[in-house]
Amino acid sequence: MAEKVWRYCEAHDITGKTITVKIKYSDFSQATRSRTVAESVSDIDIILEIAETLLASVFPFKCPVRLLGITLSSLNTEESGQEPQLPLEL
């Protein structure tokens, strides 16, 4: 799962600072854990390490899992080729 996220990011020159793990259980409850790092994630090993730590914080699972996901957010727009958003002065 983390490899799929990383391959997409590499293919689109995207980096990010926040790794999130979402767990949806069979009883339709869910748990979300995230961690933000100081610098953009530049290696799949960092994603794997953080995702494992986040999963460990909710393990053992309270009931069967129906969905598990990993996301990368707080994206670095400079590397993704997008112009940074300008500040709005009020």
Domains present along the chain, CATH in parentheses: 2-75 (3.30.1490.100)
What is the tens place of the pLDDT at every residue in 28-46? 999 999 999 998 888 899 9
pLDDT, residue 79, reads 47
pLDDT of residue 89: 78
Residue from 50, 57, 74 nearest 23 by CA: 57
Contact status, residue 37 vs residue 75, Cβ threshold 8 Å: no
Burial of residue 35, with CB atoms counted within 10 A of its CB: 0-12 exposed, 13-18 middle, 19 or more buried: middle
